[in-house]
Amino acid sequence: MNEAVRFTLEELVEGAEGDEFVFSIARNGVSLSTLRSGFMKGCELAGITYGTKQIGGINWHDLRHTFATRLEQGIHQLEIMDLMGHSSQAMVKKYAHQTPLAAQRAVDTLPQPASEVQDLTNELPAC
């Protein structure tokens, strides 16, 4: 998890007993139902279709694909595999999707030529 998530969770569990859930109705008014409705509302506000029964719709699980795809733009597959709890790189490939931006970044990492391009057309032997 990144620092922002860690900070938020640390605030949420401050003063909690060791066996308490981070999210619960009694603790902070959050349940699976409120998480689901919040995700649906977030999709609505963002103009994203929600639900697996809708064409192009997304659900909570789809966020794992987004997570893997964004990590793949600079993080080694073994690290992604570990972060996602996968047992193989093949599973990472099912979640992480190549993007045009990631492909361009990969090509951009190739070294630049150290000298000017030479025109050799006049130096080639005649066939």
Residue-by-residue pLDDT tens, the chain, 127 positions: 889 989 988 988 888 888 888 888 888 888 888 989 999 999 999 999 999 888 989 998 899 988 888 888 778 889 999 999 999 988 888 888 877 877 787 778 777 766 676 676 676 666 5
Cβ–Cβ contacts within 10 Å for residue 74, how many? 10
Contact yes or no for 70/64 (Cβ under 8 A): no
SS3 of residue 30 by DSSP: coil
Indicate the pTM of the whole model: 0.60
Contact yes or no for 73/82 (Cβ under 8 A): no
What are the CA-CA distances from residue 23 to residues 18, 31, 104 (Å)?
A: 13, 6, 41
* 50 DSSP β-pair partners: 58
